């Protein structure tokens, strides 16, 4: 099973700052990584897929990069509403796994 | 517009079987490539994928739960059903169903989730 390790566990930043979230896979997943945002009491929302493609309606301040085993989600200028949990997910094979999440506090 | 909604019991006893239904609209589970998955999230913990079913009735299960989980579909009712046997308090979680356009695609649309508590 491919394990996804997210870091840091918590990120505390101020509005307007840049956030950089990491997701590391235990083996290569090519570019098959997605990122989700989850706010308390809500379902996850798809932000990024295939490592760097923004989902429909996602603001341009969200961007993704990486391939192989190391992936990054960047939020260029934090807004208060970006406070949330962020999860990465791989789909390199038919088994789906999620990372442990990074909490972004603003 | 694609929507999904989970339904089922909010409380089950240990050793019982949980049956959850995902009722969806805005797409057909007979359209080539389309799939519906189940994902759960224990309180304060990360997401965990459980099962997937595709347009051709192909089914995939999490290896850690495959002996306890069954996923089925009713295309006439636009529903996907998850059954999980031998429930335990550690199975207490919010259970989500979600849509994917093609095998390997991310889950682009999610249901609101349904909280299930396992307790005697």
Residues in chain A closer than 8 A to B54 (CB atoms): none
Tell how strand B35-41 and strand A70-75 pair up: unpaired
For an interface test with B, the pick among A5, A44, A47 (most B C-beta atoms closer than 10 Å) comes out as A44
Q: Which residues contact A57 (CB under 8 A, 6 or more apart)?
A: none
CB-nearest to A91 from B39, B63, B106 is B106
Q: Decide: residue B117, CB within 10 A, 0-12 exposed, 13-18 middle, 19+ buried.
A: middle
pLDDT digits (tens, 9 = 90+) for B54-72: 999 999 999 999 999 999 9
Q: Give the torsion sign (CA, A87, A4, A6, B70).
A: positive
With CA atoms as reference, the chain B residue closest to A89 would be B106
The pLDDT, as a whole number, for residue A91 is 82
The whole-chain average pLDDT of chain A stands at 95
- Is the pLDDT confidence value at A34 over 90? yes
The percent of residues above 90 in pLDDT, for chain A, comes to: 93
How far does Cα B94 stand from its chain's mean position?
A: 10
Contact by Cβ (8 Å): B52, A93: no
Structure tokens, B82: 């998850």
The pLDDT, as a whole number, for residue B67 is 96
> What's the pLDDT band for A1 if we cut at 50, 70, 90?
confident
**DSSP at A19:** E
Residues in chain A closer than 8 A to B108 (CB atoms): 46, 49, 55
Report helix, strand or coil for A80: helix
| Whether A94 contacts chain B with CB within 8 A | yes
Q: DSSP letters of B51-84? A: EEEETT--EEE-TTTTTTEEEEEETTTTEEEEEE
Residues in chain A closer than 8 A to B105 (CB atoms): 49, 91
The percent of residues above 70 in pLDDT, for chain B, comes to: 100
pLDDT digits (tens, 9 = 90+) for A39-91: 999 999 999 999 999 999 999 999 999 999 999 999 999 999 999 999 999 98
Q: What is the spatial distance between Cα B7 and Cα B28, in angstroms, rounded to a whole number?
A: 19
Q: Which residues contact A62 (CB under 8 A, 6 or more apart)?
A: A35, A47, A48, A54, A73, A74, A75, A76
> What's the pLDDT band for B115 if we cut at 50, 70, 90?
very high
The position carrying tokens 């509403």 is: A81
The position carrying tokens 């990024």 is: A48
């Amino acid at each position: 099973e491919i394990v996804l390790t997210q870091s840091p566990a918590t990120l505390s930043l101020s509005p307007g700052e840049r956030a950089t979230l990491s997701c590391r896979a235990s083996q290569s997943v090519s570019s098959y990584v997605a990122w989700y945002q989850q706010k308390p009491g809500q379902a996850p929302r798809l932000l990024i897929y295939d490592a760097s493609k923004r989902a429909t309606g996602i603001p341009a301040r969200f961007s993704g990069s990486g391939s192989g085993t190391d992936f990054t989600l960047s939020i260029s200028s934090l807004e208060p509403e970006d406070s949330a949990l962020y999860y990465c997910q791989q789909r390199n094979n038919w088994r789906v796994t999620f990372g442990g999440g990074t909490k972004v506090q603003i | 517009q694609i929507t999904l909604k989970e339904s089922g019991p909010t409380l089950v006893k240990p050793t019982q079987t949980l049956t959850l239904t995902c009722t969806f609209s805005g797409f057909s589970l007979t359209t080539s490539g389309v799939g519906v998955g189940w994902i759960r999230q224990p309180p304060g913990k990360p997401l965990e994928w459980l099962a997937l079913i595709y347009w051709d009735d192909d089914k995939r299960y999490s290896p850690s739960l495959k002996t306890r989980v069954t996923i089925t579909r009713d295309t006439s009712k636009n529903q996907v059903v998850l059954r999980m046997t031998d429930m335990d308090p550690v199975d207490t979680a919010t259970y989500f169903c979600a849509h994917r356009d093609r095998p390997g695609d991310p889950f682009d649309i999610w249901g609101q989730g349904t909280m299930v508590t396992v307790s005697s």
